[in-house]
Amino acid sequence: MDDWPDPLPDDWCWSHGRVEHDDENTYRACMECSHVFQTEADLIRDHNAQLADMRTRHSEEASAEMHDATSAAEIWTCPHCIHDF
């Protein structure tokens, strides 16, 4: 964290260590890490990428139960900090 500014600016994303601005067009900002999902598609893409990564570390049986989300309604946690929305 040596290169993080001090104090941290507004809109600082703790998951990525950078400023991420949200505005009235932003789909969702995580309440915990402040990551900004500009669109629902961004959230679904990041969520499914996390699942793809998890599948590489789990058994075939467990992986078979990890279905990609097709809608944000299926996603309850931030894919970056795993905090509940």
H or E stretch covering 10: none
**Does residue 69 touch Zn ion according to CB under 5 A?**
no
CA 56 to chain centre: 19
φ, ψ for residue 52 (rounded to 5)? -60, -40
Report, in Å, the least distance between residue 59 CB and Zn ion: 27
* Length in residues, the chain: 85
Residues 9-38 that bind Zn ion (CB under 5 A): 30, 32-33, 35
Report, in Å, the least distance between residue 64 CB and Zn ion: 27
Taking the least distance from each CB to Zn ion, the nearer of 51 and 63 is 51
